[in-house]
């Protein structure tokens, strides 16, 4: 079955037949999904209301991602309730014979993990500030500044940062949307004076990367993460996306917290996010301990030379397939669709190539969490996944027939035939 093949990481085995004209047949039993590649959708303010969330589900969402770096348990809990109510309604419609398309999705929680993030802008997770190129910009480690971010500066939640950086060091915020150069740092005051290297629209609770600077290592499960993991078990979620995993020990620690939180925690899947230099060297041990991996290209492209990310993506997906475990490719796959109704050609190629490489899942982030075209984004991603899978099916059939013909031409199979 397609789902089983996808779990094994063999999208080609589960791809639709090359002659299929449609991604699904409306006349078949409603809800049958022929697509092998899962679509993971981050749900946020733009898609959390029931009508919008229903559209995203019906368009092809297989896994709902809740980013616990944003929002609180009440806000995320409302999204869970909405999805479960929609799925119950869809089941009733299915029984009545009036529904077709996607009607069930798993729920994943994305941990904040051992990463550095900014505080909020004006006390809101969703307010933004315009930063101009060349302007002075401050980073504060004082907790009193956590909710007081502005265009002049923001809080960062790693107190030792001011002692670790020095003049000339680069600090990247929000997947390098904003690059800062350190001018000076006062550890005692908890203030880092910087200059903005580019203009950016900066939101709240964004990731902070300081490549090439030795920072005090954070535990994989911080107090907030432990609370979030226990909450996930209470909510009976299906899986955890573990951020900034560095080793197999990190995965084991997350499993320990899940198991301690309740019986359901023992059955939850742990998908390790590959987004730092340490994970590259420990890839095999992480895969052995995890239920799958995510190629989280946003932070990865800052923590390692960006030109190596395409190669690392291919390597990680291939290794996951060899381990028989799923691999999700994430970050900016259809990013322009936050504001535009169609993807760029490069984005379309990105999704297609991920499927061609054997990824068992692709993910949306801001496209569905905050974008104007959430439903259309998912439909576009589904079309691209189908195109990639169809090509895989045709290519594999072509190679099988070619090898068979060459074998017969040169007598490779003669001994085998004689022995039958």
52: annotated active-site residue: no
Q: List residues bridging with 64 in a β-sheet.
A: 41, 107
Of the candidates 7, 65, 79, 379, the residue annotated as catalytic is 65
Q: Per the residue annotation, which of 54, 146, 273, 297 is the catalytic one?
A: 273
Q: Which residues pair with 106 in a beta bridge?
A: 63
* Residue 360 contacts residue 326 (beta carbons within 8 Å): yes
Q: Give the integer Cα–Cα distance in Å for 196 and 139.
A: 11
Enclosing H/E stretch for 301: helix 297-303
Cα–Cα dist 282/414, whole Å: 45
- In sequence order, what are the residues at sequence separation of 6 or more whose Cβ sits closer than 8 angstroms to the Cβ of residue 363? 39, 40, 41, 42, 65, 294, 328, 329, 330, 331, 333
Q: What is the token pair recorded at 3?
A: 């789902």
From 35, 54, 117, 146, active-site residue: 117
Report residue 419 as tokens.
């022995």
CB 201 within 8 A of CB 121: no
227 catalytically annotated:
no
Q: Is 37 a catalytic residue?
A: no
Query: Which residue in the list 37, 42, 141, 331 is annotated as catalytic?
Result: 331
Active site residue 128: no
The three-class DSSP label of residue 162 is: helix
Residues tagged active-site: 65, 117, 273, 331
């Amino acid at each position: 079955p397609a789902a089983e093949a996808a779990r094994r990481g063999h999208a080609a085995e589960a791809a639709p037949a090359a002659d299929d004209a449609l991604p699904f047949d409306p006349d078949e039993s409603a809800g049958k999904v022929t697509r092998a590649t899962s679509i993971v959708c981050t749900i946020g303010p733009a898609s959390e209301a029931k009508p919008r969330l229903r559209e995203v589900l019906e368009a092809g969402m297989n896994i709902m991602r809740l980013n616990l770096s944003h929002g609180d348990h009440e806000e995320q809990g409302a999204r869970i309730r909405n999805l479960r109510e929609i799925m119950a309604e869809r089941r009733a419609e299915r029984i009545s014979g009036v529904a077709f398309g996607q009607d069930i999705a798993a729920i994943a929680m994305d941990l904040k993990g051992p990463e550095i993030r900014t505080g909020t802008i004006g006390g809101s997770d969703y307010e933004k500030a315009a930063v101009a190129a060349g302007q002075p910009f401050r980073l504060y480690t004082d907790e009193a500044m956590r909710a007081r971010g502005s265009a002049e500066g923001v809080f960062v939640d790693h107190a030792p940062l001011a002692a670790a950086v020095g003049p000339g060091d680069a600090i990247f915020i929000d997947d390098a949307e904003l690059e800062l150069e350190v001018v000076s740092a006062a550890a005692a005051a908890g203030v880092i004076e910087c200059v903005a290297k580019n203009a950016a629209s900066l939101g709240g609770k964004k990731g902070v990367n300081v490549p090439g600077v030795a920072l005090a290592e954070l535990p994989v499960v911080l107090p907030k993460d432990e609370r979030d993991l226990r909450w996930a078990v209470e909510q009976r979620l299906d899986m955890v996306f573990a951020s900034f995993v560095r080793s197999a020990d990190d995965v084991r620690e997350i499993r320990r917290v899940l198991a301690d939180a309740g019986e359901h925690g023992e059955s939850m899947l742990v998908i390790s996010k590959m987004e730092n230099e340490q994970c590259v060297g420990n890839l095999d041990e992480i895969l052995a301990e995890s239920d799958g991996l995510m190629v989280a290209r946003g932070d990865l492209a800052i923590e390692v030379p960006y030109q190596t990310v395409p190669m690392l993506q291919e390597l990680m997906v291939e290794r996951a397939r060899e381990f028989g475990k799923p691999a999700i490719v994430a970050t900016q796959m259809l990013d322009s669709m936050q504001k535009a109704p169609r993807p760029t050609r490069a984005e379309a190629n990105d999704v297609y190539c991920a499927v061609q490489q054997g990824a068992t899942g692709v993910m949306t982030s801001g496209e569905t969490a905050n974008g104007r075209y959430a439903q259309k984004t998912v439909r576009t991603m589904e079309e691209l996944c189908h195109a990639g899978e169809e090509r895989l099916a045709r290519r594999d059939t072509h190679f099988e027939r070619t090898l068979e013909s060459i074998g017969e031409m040169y007598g490779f199979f003669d001994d085998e035939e004689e022995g039958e």
